[in-house]
Structure 1
Amino acid sequence: MANMTSTSDEILGCARALIVAGGYNGFSYADISEVVGIRKASIHHHFPSKVDLVRTLVARYREEAEAAIAQLARQEPADQLRAYTEYWAACIGDGTRPFCVCALLASEIPVLPPDVVLEVRAYFRLFSAWLTSLMEQGAKQGTLTLSGTARSEAETFIATVHGAMLSARAYGEPSIYAAITRPLIERLTAPRQ
């Protein structure tokens, strides 16, 4: 994907914004054509079908997430958890950065094409593995206090963060996100008693 053209990048960026605004079925190639200023045939040249487009978008999104996770690796587990929640707090707070496209697509899994579902699930598996590893490392170091297994804590963390995003969006109040995620971080980083 490193050799994708800038037109491909524009198409992907537009598709991402349209998915965030209206979901998988909330846009068409005609919408992208209008926004990007190219013909639908040009979009089909880069992405023969909508499935190809969204599958590529989610795969690239996962690659970006992997790179971000790699950059956090030098930090302590608790700091990585904070950085992850703070990233989404900033996105939700300023409204100009993108909402988690995979969280939105996950809510549409029953109606998504199977190839897109595979990519969305791969994204969540990536985060589950990363967070499970963080939970294990933090518990071993004594910097994180787990209530259950590392895996169950990782899944709880994912569900809480993504649920907080959706709640903030549903209420139209960015502060809801922090009100939900702050206690989660506080619980995980509380000293053992």
Structure 2
Amino acid sequence: MKSIASTSDKILDVAQSLIVAGGYNGFSYADISDAIGIRKASIHHHFPAKAALVAVLVDRYVKQAEAGLQSLREQVASPADQLQFYTNYWHRCIRDASQPFCVCAMLASEMQMLPDEVASRVRAHFRNLAAWLTLVLQAGMEQGLFRLDKRPEEQAQMLMASVHGAMLSARALGDPELFIAVVGPEIARLRAA
């Protein structure tokens, strides 16, 4: 039996699509209203202000991301495979346009203009992602799977920047395969001979 999405979930889903397409300042409640077919007052009932809406959206996104990373930790033993699954996930999302860009990466591009309640959540997402990547790289190094040029924390930051930069390049040039063309060699360089 299929569950029917709540109005709040529909609002969040549309807001997420609009943020991925145009960022925080690229949408209004009128855009959501038009997409869902409800009045702006109904949106305000669920989310009194845009900052509150986007804060809840980022919380939901971060929770989903953390659940996905936790699942990788639990179900995929090899750190090398965890990293490959992570990059494959983004490649698939970009290729099939199911999630062509990281919501937090899009919001981070507007960091100076974001309300504090949103900016702090975006920063927390990147800290959590960097921590996960650091653990994966550290474990892979200890198991002889990865050869790191830098400390795991620094290599994690470089890899995170590479993944998000590759998303941006793929988007800018309209070429989903560019993502893997950029990230693939980065992953290959990490792997120990």
**Is TM-score (shorter-chain normalized) higher than 0.5?**
yes
In structure 2, what is the Cα distance between the partners aligned to 1:127 and 1:97?
17
Match of 1:99 in 2: 101
After superposition, where does 1:107-146 map in structure 2 within 5 Å? 107-146=109-148
Give SS of 1:117's match. helix
Where do 5+ consecutive residues of structure 2 fail to align?
none
TM-fit CA distance, 1:98: 4.3
Sequence identity (%): 56
Are the counterparts in 1 of residues 144 and 192 from structure 2 also a CA contact under 8 Å? Answer: no
After superposition, where does 1:24-103 map in structure 2 within 5 Å? 24-73=24-73, 74-75=75-76, 76-103=78-105
Are the counterparts in 2 of residues 55 and 115 from structure 1 also a CA contact under 8 Å? Answer: yes
Are the counterparts in 2 of residues 135 and 150 from structure 1 also a CA contact under 8 Å? Answer: yes
TM-fit CA distance, 1:37: 1.1
When the two structures are superposed, what TM-score results if normalisation uses the length of structure 2?
0.94
Which residue among 147, 150, 157 is the counterpart of 1:148? 150
Are the counterparts in 2 of residues 17 and 98 from structure 1 also a CA contact under 8 Å? Answer: no
Which residue among 160, 164, 169 is the counterpart of 1:158? 160
TM-fit CA distance, 1:189: 1.2
Given the alignment of the two structures, is residue 180 of structure 1 paired with residue 188 of structure 2, yes or no? no
Where do 5+ consecutive residues of structure 1 fail to align?
none
In structure 2, what is the Cα distance between the partners aligned to 1:165 and 1:87?
12
Given the alignment of the two structures, is residue 15 of structure 1 paired with residue 9 of structure 2, yes or no? no
In structure 2, what is the Cα distance between the partners aligned to 1:190 and 1:179?
20
Are the counterparts in 2 of residues 138 and 144 from structure 1 also a CA contact under 8 Å? Answer: yes
In structure 1, what is the Cα distance between the partners aligned to 2:130 and 2:84?
16
Are the counterparts in 1 of residues 146 and 191 from structure 2 also a CA contact under 8 Å? Answer: yes
**Number of residue pairs the alignment of both structures matches:** 187
Structure 1 stretches of at least 4 aligned residues deviating more than 6 Å after TM superposition? none
Match of 2:6 in 1: 6
